[in-house]
Every structure is written in C-alpha cells, then in structure tokens.
Amino acid sequence: MRVKECFCPSSQEQALALLAELGDALQICAGGTDLLVMLRKGKTEAPFLMDISGLDLSGIREEEDHISIGALATLTDVQESPLLNKEPYRFLQRAAGWVGSPQIRNAATLAGNLCTGIPSADTSTPLLALDARVRLASVRRTREIPLTGFFLAPRKTALEADEMVTEVLLPRFPSGDYRTEFRKVGTRKELFISIFHIASLLEMEGPLVKRARFAMGVMAPVPVRLFRTEELLTGKSLTPALIDEALETMKTEVHPRTSRHASKEYRMMLAENLLHRFLTEPPEGAEGGNLC
C-alpha cells in the first residue's frame, strides 16, 4: 500500500493524539532502519507514517533510581554514553556496538531495536539481564512494564495500537564486583543478523555468586531470561559440578528451533559453550569480538 502521509509532530501530545486517532494505521518511525526495509519489501501496510525525531525524547540521563534512555537515543548514543561505560552496563554498550553497521547504529534507536520484537534484537538480552523497564505513553495513560513482559511473540510486543515507547529505564545497581558479557554469533564478523546471542551479568561476593542474570536470544520465539538457572547459582560457589548442573537447567529453559540460518542443535551447543565460558573464564576485554 502506498504511504499517504508522514506526520512530523513537534510534541509528545501531538504524537499521542495522532496515535489515538489512527492506531494501527500509523507506523512510528524513529531511526527507520528496520521500517524502510519492511516498507520496501511490502511487509508493513500502514498508510501513515509518523517521524518522531522532532520529539524531546533523545538523551541518556541519570535519574534518582534509574538511568533513562530516551526513545530517540541511537545505538551509537548508547555505545558512547559515559553513564553506561561502567559495570554492570558495559555489556549493553557492547551489544549496541555490534548491531548492524556504523551507518545503522547512527540512525537506529535502542527503543526501536526492542519495538521490532524480533528474537535476534541484540540489545534485548543485556536489557533483560539488567531488569530493564519500558515506559509506554498514550493519551489514556502512562505505564511502565518490565521488559520480560514486553515481548509477546516474534514481531509482536505489548505495545497497544495507541501507545508508543518513550523511555527505556535501567535500574541503578549498588556498587559491587560485577562482570558482564555479551556475545552474538552469526555467519561473519560484522553486519549480520544474530543466529544466537547471550548476555550474562554476574555479581560476585568473594567466591560466591551474589547475583546472576542470564538472557538468550533466538533460543525461543522471544528473547528469554533464564530465571531457574540464575536461582540455582545464587549464593553458591561456581564449582565444576554446579556449572554442569546450571548448563542442564539452562537447557530446560530454552526451546531453539531449526531455521535456514542454523539448526537447533547448533544453537543449543552455542548456548552451552558460551554460558560455560562466562561461568569459568575471567571476563574478556571490552571489545572481544563476534563468533562466526
């Protein structure tokens, strides 16, 4: 269908009024890097576009009990933010820094990466591990939901037809001994759609795991947190026997499937090997690298 009009509201009130009026017929464009591909391929039918770049939603700010990432903050903004260049947020910077290419990261937004609702959205796993929340606005109300409740099915999120994401909120963490890791796997080193991605956040207290958070992408219809594996490790020492048990528990929490990009057996092997690596080896440098 031809796009009839592109609205360019200059305030959130105007944007929400348009959303309330047009609902699903209105497609929000933040960076547009996913949307324009979908439009070209005829995979989205909305007759109206709304460019939200005129809204006051950019910037990454430290607030009393959280860090707020505005819906217009690009992946480059996330990658370069001094507020996020510290633990336990560095794996989010790393994930943002491996989405697409520099050209894509300069336009694409963090919120948009989530709103695609695709299991390969790289930033979803560190955000899940951080217990991120998403702030949604409509003319009816403003609400906050945990990211764990945001992904419903591939390309389907909890966003209602008249709602838009205005902020992604990261809780602040007490100082501690954190190590965070992110890895994505694909067919080459750069600019690929992940066939698997994993984020791991560990807080250690001496030899004991004080806090463990893991999330995996492309291992189920939506990115998932591994709550049972986390619970198993919490308060314990990472012995080889416990790590083996954790890997077995992890396998019960994911349901990979075979696609043209990778087999479910291969994805499961990646999940096991990388989780094992994160639990046994010292953290790698900030850049690391992708696996292919």
Partner 1 sequence: MLIHFHVNGKACAVDAAPDEKLLDTLREKLQITSVKRGCENGDCGACTVLLDGRPVASCIFLTVKARNHSIQTIEAFGEPGHLHPLQEKFRAHGAFQCGFCAPGVTLSAISLLNQNPTPTEEEVRRAISGNLCRCSGYVQIVEAIMDYVEERRAAREEL
Return residues touching partner 1 (CB under 8 A): 2-6, 8, 29, 32-33, 36-37, 39-40, 49, 51, 53, 76, 100-104, 106-107, 189-191, 287
Least distance (Å) between residue 219 CB and partner 1: 25
Least distance (Å) between residue 121 CB and partner 1: 15
Least distance (Å) between residue 14 CB and partner 1: 15
Strand order in the sheet with 133-137: 60-62, 66-70, 164-171, 133-137, 142-146
Least distance (Å) between residue 279 CB and partner 1: 28
Q: By three-state DSSP, how is residue 201 classified? A: strand
Give the position of tokens 């795991």.
Answer: 209
Choose between 71 and 128: whose C-beta lies nearer to partner 1.
71
Least distance (Å) between residue 286 CB and partner 1: 12
Give the position of tokens 């919120």.
Answer: 111
Choose between 53 and 263: whose C-beta lies nearer to partner 1.
53
Choose between 29 and 215: whose C-beta lies nearer to partner 1.
29
Contacts of 49 (CB under 8 A, 6+ apart): 3, 5, 6, 7, 26, 27, 28, 29, 35
Choose between 101 and 142: whose C-beta lies nearer to partner 1.
101
Choose between 106 and 249: whose C-beta lies nearer to partner 1.
106
Report yes or no: 122 and 217 within 8 Å, Cβ to Cβ.
yes
Report yes or no: 141 and 177 within 8 Å, Cβ to Cβ.
no
* Encoded tokens for 21: 């009026």
* Encoded tokens for 157: 């999120």
Choose between 88 and 97: whose C-beta lies nearer to partner 1.
97
Contacts of 218 (CB under 8 A, 6+ apart): 119, 120, 194, 195, 196, 197, 256, 267
**Residue ranges in the chain assigned as alpha helix (H):** 12-22, 35-40, 75-80, 90-96, 102-105, 110-115, 124-129, 227-233, 240-253, 264-280
Beta strands in the chain (DSSP E): 5-7, 26-29, 48-51, 60-62, 66-70, 133-137, 142-146, 151-153, 156-157, 164-171, 177-185, 196-205, 208-217, 224-225
Choose between 58 and 263: whose C-beta lies nearer to partner 1.
58
Choose between 27 and 123: whose C-beta lies nearer to partner 1.
27
Least distance (Å) between residue 218 CB and partner 1: 19
Least distance (Å) between residue 105 CB and partner 1: 9
Report yes or no: 132 and 223 within 8 Å, Cβ to Cβ.
no
Least distance (Å) between residue 101 CB and partner 1: 3
